[in-house]
């Protein structure tokens, strides 16, 4: 089990009299990720509306802020005990056997134009044996072909752009991997979170984006940017791509500042809390879905 403690500080200058915002900053609640403690502080006297998605554990927050400065601080401690599975036991599933809830994740989405990646996916991965290793091959292919370059992409950069440019940040790696997986008829989705264990040379801790692919009825974690060990990923938002799971979506004229994030892993052998480390097994932190 991994215990991670983190804080997120967000700051906005609201220009309009009021401004709606949607946040994905609460730690998700799933069978494998428990929120031990959490606290939300807002500098404005607004009443946020919190909605927990029963399927994916995401906790969307909406609020209407007033003109002036908006400050949020969210603190949480989570325990994560991944479902672990040996790669050779993980199988790709035919469309006809997928849980209904997985179906939205086989279609193309804003940033993952899988419809246009079918030929490439078939050429690169079509002859491989289906299963966990094939998905790993997709992950490594993306990792090898894309260079992580801060500032090399923007809000409208899609999987096709990243494929051509060969550069991107974590969300771009995720979009390209998702696009390729869906082009192979594999349900794949976007997860946003915070990562523990990234190389400090990569800059200050930031939100992270990674991928889940459904195998044998569960969603397994893959991080094509390989920025941190998947075991160190705190799960926050889930969606088809970054359009759904942005940490903040702002509906108005707002000046935004870089988020300030701090994360630590708490090690305590007596409690069974170990540090996140790389692991060859399949890891899942999402609810198990009953097939149907």
Q: Using the rule CB under 8 A, which residue among 11, 22, 202, 266 binds a second copy? A: 22
Is 117 near a second copy (CB under 8 A)?
yes
> Does 119 interact with a second copy (rule: CB under 8 A)?
yes
- The smaller minimum CB distance to a second copy, of residues 83 and 175, is found at 175
Provide the token pair at 137.
């091959």
d(CA 234, CA 77): 10
The DSSP H or E segment spanning 173 is helix 170-183
Instruction: Tally the C-alpha atoms within 13 A of residue 161's C-alpha that lie toward its C-beta.
Output: 15
DSSP string, 191-227: EEEEESS--GGG-S--EEEEEEEEETTEEEEE-TT--
Binding status of residue 34 toward a second copy by CB under 8 A: no
Contact string 161-180 vs a second copy (x = CB under 8 A): --xxxxx-------------
Stretch (H or E) spanning 245: helix 242-245
Nearer to a second copy, 126 or 272 (CB): 126
Rounded-to-integer distance, Cα 10 and Cα 42, Å: 10
Per the CB < 8 A criterion, the answer to whether 176 and 102 are in contact is no
Using CB under 8 A, pick the residue from 49, 84, 91, 258 that binds a second copy.
49
Between 46 and 260, CB nearer to a second copy: 46
**Number of shown-chain residues binding a second copy (CB under 8 A):** 42
Q: Which is nearer to a second copy, 213 or 261 (CB)?
A: 213
Give the full edge-to-edge strand order of the sheet including 188-195: 218-222, 207-215, 188-195, 233-239
Residue (231 or 245) nearer to a second copy, CB: 245
Shorter beta-carbon distance to a second copy: residue 44 or 64: 64
Residue span binding a second copy (CB under 8 A) among the ranges 91-99, 190-198, 209-217, 279-287: 91-99
**Residue 251 touches a second copy, criterion: CB under 8 A:** yes
Least Cα distance to 169 among 213, 223, 118 occurs for 223
Q: Which residues pair with 43 in a beta bridge?
A: none
User: Helices 170-183 & 118-125, crossing angle to 10 degrees?
Assistant: 80
Nearest one of 173, 165, 24 to 111, comparing CA atoms: 173
The CA–CA distances, whole Å, from 271 to 81, 245, 266 equal 13, 33, 10
110 near a second copy, judged by CB under 8 A: yes
Least distance to a second copy, CB of residue 50, Å: 10
Nearest CB to a second copy, comparing residues 114 and 225: 114
- For a second copy, the closer of residues 154 and 270 by Cβ is 154
Question: At its nearest, how many Å lie between a second copy and the CB of residue 239?
Answer: 8
* β-strands 167-168, 147-148 pairing: parallel
**Ranges within 50-79 binding a second copy (CB under 8 A):** 51, 60, 62-64
290: contact with a second copy by CB under 8 A: no
Residues that bind a second copy in the complex, under the rule CB under 8 A = 20, 22, 49, 51, 60, 62-64, 94-96, 100, 103-104, 107-110, 112-113, 115-117, 119-120, 123, 145, 155-156, 160, 163-167, 185, 240, 243-244, 249, 251, 292
């Amino acid at each position: 089990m991994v215990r991670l403690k983190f804080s997120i500080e967000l700051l906005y200058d609201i220009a309009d009299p009021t401004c709606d915002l949607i946040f994905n900053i609460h730690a998700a609640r799933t069978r494998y990720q428990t929120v031990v403690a959490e606290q939300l502080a807002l500098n404005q006297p607004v009443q946020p509306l919190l909605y927990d998605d029963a399927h994916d554990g995401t906790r969307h927050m909406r609020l209407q802020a007033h003109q002036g400065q908006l400050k949020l601080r969210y603190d949480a401690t989570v325990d994560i005990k991944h479902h672990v599975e040996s790669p050779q036991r993980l199988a790709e599933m035919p469309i006809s056997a997928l849980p209904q809830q997985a179906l939205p994740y086989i279609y193309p989405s804003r940033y993952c134009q899988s419809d246009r990646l079918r030929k490439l996916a078939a050429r690169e991965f079509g002859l491989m044996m289906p299963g966990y290793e094939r998905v790993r091959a997709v992950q490594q292919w993306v990792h090898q072909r894309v260079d992580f370059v801060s500032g090399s992409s923007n809000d409208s950069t899609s999987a096709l752009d990243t494929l051509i440019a060969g550069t991107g940040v974590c969300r771009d790696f995720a979009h390209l991997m998702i696009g390729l997986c869906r082009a192979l008829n594999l349900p794949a989705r976007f997860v946003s979170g915070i990562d523990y264990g990234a190389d400090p040379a990569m800059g200050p801790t930031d939100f992270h984006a990674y991928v889940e692919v459904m195998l044998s009825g569960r969603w397994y974690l893959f991080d094509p940017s390989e920025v941190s060990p998947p075991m160190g990923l705190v799960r926050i938002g889930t969606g088809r791509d970054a359009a759904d799971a942005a940490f903040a979506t702002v509906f108005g004229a707002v000046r935004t500042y870089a988020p300030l994030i701090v994360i630590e892993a708490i090690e305590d052998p007596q409690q069974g809390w170990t540090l996140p480390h790389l692991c060859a097994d399949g890891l899942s932190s999402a609810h198990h879905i009953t097939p149907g």
